[in-house]
C-alpha cells in the first residue's frame, strides 16, 4: 500500500485519541510510546538507520559519505486534548520529504536525520523541550526530578519504559548537526487571515516570565475617599493597560497578564495586595533587553503615583533565537520553486528549533492553521497545505544536503 502524508496523519491521530475529543500523548506514557514505535517502523520502511537515544528521542539516519547531518525534526507529544498537527506534522512531513527525495533517486552528500524529540510540550511534568534540551547537551537533571499529578517523577516514568535517567547525558549529539529544519503549523491566525500558504520564520521570540506583587492598603470600601486610597488592583490595572499599549505599538512584542488575584478579596474591601503574572515576548535581542528595562521602570512609576510598593520577580528570561540565514535561504528557495513567496514572520510560540538553533544553524517553516486555532481538538490545516509544507521541506533538505560548506 502506498503511504501518503494524509494517511499517516490520520493513523497518528488515532493514537491517544480521546472519546470526548482531541488527542493526549504525554511524555513516557503508553500512548506516546505507541505513536513513536509506529513512526520508527515508518522510518525503517524508508531504509533509515533507526535508534532511540537515552532521552527518548527517536532518530532515523540516512547515511552519506561525510559531513554533519542535515536534520528535520519536531515532536509527537501533545498538550491535553491537543490537535492532530502540532508537532506531528513536522515529523510525518519529514518522512514524506524523504519519500519525495527517494522517489527522485536523490543521493545526499551529507547525512539526513529525521527526528521526533521527546516531551516538547511538557504536559505531564512541566518539563517542556526536554528531548531537544538533552540532545543539545543542556543540563536536564532538574527535569528528571519533576513530578506529574500523581507524584511520579520523570525518572521513575522513564525507568518504567526501560530508560535510565542517569544516562540522559548520552543523548547530547547536537555537534553532529550541520543544519536543522522544522516544519510546523503556525498556531496563529496570520497566514490564514492573509491567505498566505508558507511562513518563513526569521526568529523565535524570547520569553520573559514575571511574577509581580503590588502592595497598598486594604481599607473600608465605603468610608475611604478616592484620593486617600492605595488600591493595589487599580495599580495592577494600570500595568495591564500600559502593557497592552506598549505591545500594540510594537509588532515584535506581545504582552499578556494571564493570572491575577486581588487580596484580601472581600467585596467591600479595597484590595491591599494584588498578585499577577506577566508574559512578555520579544523577537529581537535588542527589544528583549529594552523591554525588561521598560517594564520594571513602568511598574515603579505606576507604584509611585498610586502610593504602592512592588515586588517584581523574573521567573524566566529565555532570549530570542534568530534563525540562520543559510537555512532560511534554503527554505525560501524551496518555496519559490513551488511558485510561492513565503511570508517572513516571527514565531511567538516556542519550538525545539529554539534549542537546536543555539548550537547549529536552524530554520523553520510554517503552514497555515485554520482560524489560528491550536492546542485544541479544532486545530486544522488543509491536506494541500500539509503536502506543500512537506515538498518545501524536501527541497530545503535537498539543497542543504548537497552543501559541503556548512
Does 291 engage in binding with Zn ion (CB under 5 A)? Answer: no
Selected binder of Zn ion within 56, 82, 83, 87 (CB under 5 A): 87
**Distance in angstroms (rounded) separating the CA atoms of residues 155 and 260:** 33
The least distance separating Zn ion from the CB of residue 271, rounded to whole angstroms, comes to 38
Closer CB to Zn ion, 133 or 398, in the complex: 133
Strands (E) located in 186-335: 199-204, 206-215, 219-220, 253-256, 260-263, 269-270, 273-282, 309-318, 321-322
Q: Of 79-87, 221-229, 312-320, 381-389, which part binds Zn ion (CB under 5 A)?
A: 79-87
The least distance separating Zn ion from the CB of residue 362, rounded to whole angstroms, comes to 15
Q: Of 31-39, 84-92, 244-252, 393-401, which part binds Zn ion (CB under 5 A)?
A: 84-92
**Does residue 252 contact residue 345 with C-beta atoms inside 8 Å?**
no
The count of residues interacting with Zn ion (CB under 5 A) is 2
3-class SS of residue 260: strand
Interacting positions 141-170 with Zn ion (CB under 5 A): none
Q: Of 83-91, 290-298, 300-308, 312-320, which part binds Zn ion (CB under 5 A)?
A: 83-91
Please say whether the dihedral angle defined by the alpha carbons of residues 37, 42, 44 and 49, taken in this order, is positive or negative.
Answer: negative
- Residue 375 is classified by DSSP as S
Closer CB to Zn ion, 183 or 280, in the complex: 183
Closer CB to Zn ion, 287 or 321, in the complex: 321
Does 86 engage in binding with Zn ion (CB under 5 A)? Answer: yes
Closer CB to Zn ion, 218 or 353, in the complex: 353
**Per-position DSSP letters for 272-312, written without gaps between them:** SEEEEEEEEEESSHHHHHHHHHHHHHHHHHHHHHHT-EEEE
Interacting positions 221-240 with Zn ion (CB under 5 A): none
The least distance separating Zn ion from the CB of residue 255, rounded to whole angstroms, comes to 22
Q: Of 80-88, 109-117, 199-207, 329-337, which part binds Zn ion (CB under 5 A)?
A: 80-88
**Distance in angstroms (rounded) separating the CA atoms of residues 404 and 136:** 22
**Distance in angstroms (rounded) separating the CA atoms of residues 351 and 368:** 16
In degrees, rounded to 5, the angle at the alpha carbon of residue 67 between the alpha carbons of residues 62 and 70 is 50
- Characterize the bridge pairing of strands 69-75 and 177-185: parallel
User: Which three cell numbers, joined as nine digits, stand for 339?
Assistant: 511558485
Closer CB to Zn ion, 16 or 87, in the complex: 87
Interacting positions 42-71 with Zn ion (CB under 5 A): none
Burial category of 194 from C-beta neighbours within 10 Å (exposed 0-12, middle 13-18, buried 19 and up) = exposed
Q: Where are the alpha helices (DSSP H) in 73-163?
A: 88-103, 130-135, 141-144, 154-160
Does 252 engage in binding with Zn ion (CB under 5 A)? Answer: no
The least distance separating Zn ion from the CB of residue 150, rounded to whole angstroms, comes to 25
**Residues near Zn ion (CB under 5 A):** 86-87
Amino acid at each position: 500500500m502506498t503511504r501518503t502524508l494524509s494517511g499517516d496523519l490520520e493513523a497518528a491521530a488515532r493514537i491517544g485519541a480521546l472519546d470526548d475529543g482531541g488527542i493526549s500523548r504525554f511524555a513516557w506514557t503508553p500512548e506516546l510510546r505507541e505513536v513513536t514505535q509506529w513512526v520508527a517502523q515508518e522510518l525503517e520502511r524508508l531504509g533509515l538507520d533507526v535508534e532511540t537515544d537515552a532521552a527518548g528521542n527517536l532518530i532515523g539516519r540516512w547515511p552519506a559519505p561525510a559531513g554533519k547531518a542535515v536534520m528535520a525534526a519536531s515532536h509527537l507529544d501533545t498538550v491535553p486534548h491537543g490537535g492532530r498537527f502540532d508537532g506531528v506534522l513536522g515529523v510525518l512531513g519529514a518522512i514524506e520529504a524523504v519519500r519525495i527525495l527517494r522517489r527522485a533517486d536523490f543521493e545526499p552528500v551529507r547525512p539526513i536525520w529525521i527526528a521526533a524529540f521527546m516531551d516538547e510540550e511538557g504536559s505531564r511534568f512541566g518539563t517542556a523541550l526536554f528531548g531537544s534540551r538533552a540532545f543539545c547537551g543542556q543540563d536536564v537533571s532538574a527535569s528528571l526530578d519533576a513530578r506529574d499529578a500523581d507524584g511520579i517523577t520523570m525518572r521513575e516514568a522513564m525507568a518504567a519504559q526501560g530508560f535510565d535517567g542517569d544516562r540522559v547525558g548520552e543523548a547530547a549529539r547536537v555537534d553532529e548537526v550541520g543544519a536543522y529544519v522544522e516544519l510546523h503549523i503556525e498556531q496563529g491566525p496570520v497566514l490564514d487571515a492573509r491567505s498566505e500558504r508558507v511562513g518563513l520564520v526569521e526568529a523565535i521570540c524570547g520569553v520573559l516570565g514575571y511574577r509581580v506583587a503590588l502592595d497598598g492598603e486594604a481599607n473600608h470600601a465605603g468610608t475611604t475617599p478616592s484620593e486617600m486610597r492605595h488600591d493595589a488592583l487599580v495599580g495592577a490595572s494600570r500595568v495591564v493597560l500600559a502593557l497592552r499599549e506598549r505591545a500594540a505599538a510594537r509588532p515584535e512584542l506581545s504582552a499578556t497578564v494571564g493570572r491575577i488575584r486581588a487580596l484580601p478579596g472581600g467585596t467591600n474591601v479595597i484590595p491591599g495586595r494584588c498578585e499577577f503574572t506577566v508574559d512578555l515576548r520579544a523577537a529581537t535581542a535588542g527589544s528583549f533587553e529594552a523591554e525588561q528595562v521598560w517594564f520594571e521602570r513602568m511598574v515603579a512609576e505606576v507604584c509611585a503615583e498610586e502610593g504602592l510598593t512592588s515586588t517584581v520577580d523574573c521567573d524566566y528570561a529565555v532570549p530570542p533565537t534568530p534563525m540562520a540565514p543559510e537555512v532560511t535561504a534554503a527554505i525560501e528557495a524551496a518555496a519559490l520553486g513551488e511558485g510561492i513567496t513565503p511570508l517572513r514572520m516571527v514565531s511567538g510560540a516556542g519550538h525545539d528549533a529554539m534549542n537546536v538553533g543555539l548550537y547549529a544553524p536552524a530554520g523553520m517553516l510554517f503552514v497555515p492553521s485554520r482560524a489560528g486555532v491550536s492546542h485544541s481538538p479544532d486545530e486544522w490545516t488543509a491536506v494541500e497545505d500539509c503536502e506543500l509544507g512537506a515538498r518545501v521541506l524536501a527541497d530545503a533538505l535537498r539543497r542543504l544536503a548537497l552543501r559541503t560548506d556548512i
